[in-house]
A and B are shown apart, each in its own frame.
Chain A
Amino acid sequence: MRRGVGLTLLAAALSVVVSSCGNGVIDKSTDGVPPAEATGTLRVLLPSFPPSTKGKEEFQKVVDDFHKTYPKMKVEPDFATYKNLNEKMSTSIAAGIPYDVMVTGVGWVQPFASKNIFEDLGKYGVTPDVIKEKSTPALIPAVTYDKKLYAYPLIADARAVALRKSAFREAGLDPDKPPTSLAEIKVAAEKLTKRDKDGNITRSGFDLASATGFRQSFVTFLASTGTPLYVGGEPNFDNKAGLDTLLWIKSMINNVQPYGQTNAAQQPLVLTGEAAMGIVNGGVDCSADGIGQKNCDDLKFFRFNSGKEIEYVGGDLASIGSRSRHKDAAWAFIQTLTQPTTLDAIAKLNKKVPAYKDASNSPQAKSNPLSQFVADGLVYAVNENEVPSNWLEMRGNFDIQLTQAVLGQKDPAKVLHNLAGQSR
């Protein structure tokens, strides 16, 4: 009798453990259910809204709009960053409660689509023509895998180059004729670099914006020679253009900029005056709360051109989880997210430009000269292009191995050859 009671208690305890670990939190599918009657929780993972009060307020507006169609659905946001995006996704899959809407960046879509983690948006009428007509055509390769579209662009993360006019004049250079090729930039940067009596760099001549890795800057510099990083998923950098680019980066580090240089605010160094020239992202705050009008007036923006004028463009791309039980609601949520007013708000929050057709006339582009410049330059967009399906692994490999080459720990040619071999 006692044994029976003991076993019953043990079984009860086990069932509590199992049920709490099991599928108790998974909703019933709402696909096919009329939106007004659909109930459940829509789990949304996105790095597009900072977890600040302002970010949460803007997100709530999206939720309120979504509730006009799906009044009974609860929306559970996860305000991730690009740094922890993968771990959030992987742990959600491992825990059996995957996200319904996932916003990722350039280079994420192909690996996740190949693992069948993202849903083909063709089912919802998203085609390359739709993106060309309504969004940013430059991001079509970034959302395409196996000729199908798996994401819809929200904002474009475009990068340009900026110079300090005062620094140029001080160094005897003409700020109206900015250096655009890699060779010209190196010559100018060496003249612009300031050092103390011991030879330590006190103002960098050129900020490569590569404190945490050289992957994106390598992609940018290489593309400016007319060489995309990948073509059709195949490596296109284990060649003379790739080697010349890597050797150029190596010749710049600790020559015109100390390795690892960054500032506490993680701002582009040319905006703060710590560099005379350098890569900048898609927006600048010229108000007194930002860098101020005087500093803004001292800046001139231009694009790399070592044979091809280019602008590196990343972006926030919204996808539906293939394991979602609320795919229709997830698509409705993405449609709400892609309303122009919402995209304007996201662009402002992130100092990027909205990924809609006429970004040049967006409020964000009109708000500051840098956003206007990069919005006008979206036609010159380049990025990692058609990455292989193991790109998530390659991102880290590029960061580590390019750094080893730049710091002289490994032979640059061997590094590129190795990276090409690892791409698959």
Chain B
Amino acid sequence: MSTTLERPALATPRKVTPAKDSRTLLKSQVRTGWALLAPALLHSGVFIVIPVIAVLVLSLTDYSFGDTWAWVGFGNYADLFRDVDFQASLWHTVLYAIVVIPISMAIALAVAVGLNQKIRGLTFFRTAYYIPTVTATVAVATIWLWIYNPGSGLANGFLSLFGFAPNRWLADPATALPSLMVVGIWQGLGTKVIIYLAALQTVSRDLLESADLDGAGRWQKFANVTWPAIGPVQFFVLITSIVGTFQVFDLVYVMTQGGPGSETRVLVMDIYQNAFQDLKLGYASAETVIMMIVIALFIGVGRLLQKADAND
């Protein structure tokens, strides 16, 4: 009996002690959490938060690398909306995004579906599609400059086989931007294909087999099983594509410098020109703020489309 009486007495303090330990553990866990987070927070603070604040502040000034500067309020923003180069750059960027994003996503998905089959040379094809992504844009652009060369380029050489007259591709205002879009689509394919491929391999085999048993065709299986299953990945690809296409710069810088005239001038090119060629850093900062807002709007639209798709 005595032993039975003693056990509960011992049990109570034991229950209390772990509770004290868990509180202590929780605090140390919190500290460890903050310690582990600190590098990332420091990095974000130094390289994201401070620059964003700096850009916002600079956008309200006329700073141009000189000794003096002044607050101009929203003057830079007002000037931007009257600036034909900015308007052209914004339009070209939006157009570039609208064309390149859906086409590259569609092609990448089709290629990924193809590469998800058991076909010969699968490793070769996967590598081949990914090579443009790991190749430096300057190298890619240089090769495409040769392809588009009006005199000795591959594009005109190929078209001449079918009797087409030579085109001046990058020198013609009508074809310069579409020519860049083709390169943009081609270059961005690899990353998207790899992501889609990974997503396709996570689609439930059980669901696909069930669809087979129900007599669903290939298209029905894709539309009703595969497509919904890769929804989150679609959204990820969409967001990264929006950000990527809005930040297109190196391709344009190497291939056309924004020309002919301003036919291929894009937002980042215009920001670069204003900041580092014309030395109007305040003005370029205002342009950067507008670019961030436009990207946010596009991502917002992407989210809405994604939600609508998920509800369907």
Residues on A lying within 8 angstroms of B by beta carbon are: 2-3, 6, 10, 13-14, 17, 86-87, 89-91, 93-94, 111, 114-117, 198, 200, 212-213, 258-260, 322, 390, 392-393, 396-397, 399-401, 403-404, 407, 409
Instruction: State the CA gap A14–B42 with chains docked (Å).
Output: 9
11 further A-B contacts with Cβ under 8 Å, apart from A3-B31, A400-B265, are A17-B42, A17-B46, A86-B277, A86-B278, A87-B276, A91-B276, A93-B65, A94-B281, A200-B166, A260-B171, A407-B261
Partner of B280, one of A17, A393, A409: A393
Task: Check if A393 sits within 8 Å of B38, measured CB to CB.
Answer: no
Task: Check if A403 sits within 8 Å of B259, measured CB to CB.
Answer: yes
Partner of B279, one of A86, A116, A404: A86
Given the interface pairs A259-B260, A400-B85, the reply to whether A117 lies near B275 with Cβ below 8 Å is no
Partner of B277, one of A117, A198, A212, A396: A396
| Chain B CB within 10 A, most for which of A91, A200, A259, A396 | A396
CB distance from B138 to the nearest CB of A (A): 14
Tell me what chain A mostly uses at the interface: helix, strand, loop, or mixed. helix
User: Within B259-285, which residues are at the interface with A (CB < 8 Å)?
Assistant: 259-262, 265, 272-273, 275-281
Task: Supply 20 A–B pairs (Cβ within 8 Å), ascending by A.
Answer: A17-B42, A86-B278, A86-B279, A90-B275, A90-B276, A90-B279, A115-B65, A115-B67, A115-B279, A212-B257, A260-B168, A260-B171, A392-B279, A393-B278, A396-B277, A396-B278, A400-B258, A403-B259, A403-B260, A407-B173
Task: Check if A212 sits within 8 Å of B173, measured CB to CB.
Answer: no
Closest to A6 in B: B35
Chain A positions within 8 Å of B64 at CB level:
115
Task: Check if B38 sits within 8 Å of A10, measured CB to CB.
Answer: yes
Chain B positions within 8 Å of A397 at CB level:
85
Closest to B38 in A: A10
CB distance from A266 to the nearest CB of B (A): 13
Chain B positions within 8 Å of A93 at CB level:
65
Chain A positions within 8 Å of B217 at CB level:
none
Residue B134 interfacial (CB < 8 Å): no
CB distance from A32 to the nearest CB of B (A): 22
Task: Check if B262 sits within 8 Å of A400, measured CB to CB.
Answer: yes
Closest to B65 in A: A93
Complex A-B, nearest 5 residue pairs according to Cβ-Cβ distance, in ascending order = A115-B66, A260-B171, A87-B276, A393-B278, A404-B261
Task: Check if A260 sits within 8 Å of B260, measured CB to CB.
Answer: yes
Bitwise interface map of B from 74 to 90 toward A, beta carbon under 8 Å scored 1, else 0: 00000000000100000
Instruction: State the CA gap A112–B42 with chains docked (Å).
Output: 36
Task: Check if A90 sits within 8 Å of B171, measured CB to CB.
Answer: no
Closest to B146 in A: A264
Task: Check if B171 sits within 8 Å of A409, measured CB to CB.
Answer: no
Task: Check if B85 sits within 8 Å of A90, measured CB to CB.
Answer: no
CB distance from B269 to the nearest CB of A (A): 11
Partner of B66, one of A10, A17, A87, A117: A117
Instruction: State the CA gap A87–B65 with chains docked (Å).
Output: 11
Closest to A264 in B: B149
Instruction: State the CA gap A91–B275 with chains docked (Å).
Output: 10
Instruction: State the CA gap A129–B173 with chains docked (Å).
Output: 49
CB distance from A149 to the nearest CB of B (A): 19
Chain A positions within 8 Å of B150 at CB level:
258
CB distance from A117 to the nearest CB of B (A): 7
Residue B53 interfacial (CB < 8 Å): no
Question: By the criterion of a CB under 8 Å from any partner CB, how many residues of chain B are at the interface?
Answer: 34
Instruction: State the CA gap A399–B260 with chains docked (Å).
Output: 10
Task: Check if A6 sits within 8 Å of B85, measured CB to CB.
Answer: no
CB distance from B12 to the nearest CB of A (A): 31
Given the interface pairs A116-B67, A200-B166, the reply to whether A392 lies near B277 with Cβ below 8 Å is yes
Residue B165 interfacial (CB < 8 Å): yes
Instruction: State the CA gap A322–B171 with chains docked (Å).
Output: 41
User: Within B138-181, which residues are at the interface with A (CB < 8 Å)?
Assistant: 150, 165-166, 168, 170-171, 173
Instruction: State the CA gap A17–B85 with chains docked (Å).
Output: 38
Task: Check if A87 sits within 8 Å of B261, measured CB to CB.
Answer: no
Chain A positions within 8 Å of B46 at CB level:
17
Instruction: State the CA gap A328–B180 with chains docked (Å).
Output: 50
Chain A positions within 8 Å of B85 at CB level:
397, 400
Chain B positions within 8 Å of A116 at CB level:
66-68
Closest to B275 in A: A90
Task: Check if B276 sits within 8 Å of A258, measured CB to CB.
Answer: no
Task: Check if B65 sits within 8 Å of A2, measured CB to CB.
Answer: no
Task: Check if A259 sits within 8 Å of B65, measured CB to CB.
Answer: no
Instruction: State the CA gap A79–B176 with chains docked (Å).
Output: 32
Closest to B88 in A: A400
Instruction: State the CA gap A80–B70 with chains docked (Å).
Output: 31
CB distance from A309 to the nearest CB of B (A): 32
CB distance from A112 to the nearest CB of B (A): 9
Chain A positions within 8 Å of B281 at CB level:
90, 94
Closest to B276 in A: A87
Instruction: State the CA gap A404–B273 with chains docked (Å).
Output: 18
CB distance from B69 to the nearest CB of A (A): 10
Chain A positions within 8 Å of B278 at CB level:
86, 390, 392-393, 396
Task: Check if A13 sits within 8 Å of B276, measured CB to CB.
Answer: no
Chain B positions within 8 Å of A213 at CB level:
259
Instruction: State the CA gap A390–B279 with chains docked (Å).
Output: 10
Task: Check if A259 sits within 8 Å of B261, measured CB to CB.
Answer: no
Partner of B165, one of A87, A114, A198, A409: A198
Chain B positions within 8 Å of A212 at CB level:
257, 259
Chain A positions within 8 Å of B265 at CB level:
400
Instruction: State the CA gap A117–B67 with chains docked (Å).
Output: 8
| Chain A CB within 10 A, most for which of B38, B68, B259, B273 | B259
Task: Check if B66 sits within 8 Å of A396, measured CB to CB.
Answer: no
Instruction: State the CA gap A117–B66 with chains docked (Å).
Output: 6
Task: Check if A13 sits within 8 Å of B66, measured CB to CB.
Answer: no
Instruction: State the CA gap A200–B150 with chains docked (Å).
Output: 11
Chain A positions within 8 Å of B165 at CB level:
198
Instruction: State the CA gap A212–B261 with chains docked (Å).
Output: 9
| Chain A CB within 10 A, most for which of B68, B258, B261 | B261
Chain A positions within 8 Å of B42 at CB level:
13-14, 17
User: Within B196-251, which residues are at the interface with A (CB < 8 Å)?
Assistant: none
Given the interface pairs A117-B65, A198-B165, A258-B168, the reply to whether A409 lies near B35 with Cβ below 8 Å is no
Instruction: State the CA gap A392–B273 with chains docked (Å).
Output: 10
Chain B positions within 8 Å of A401 at CB level:
261
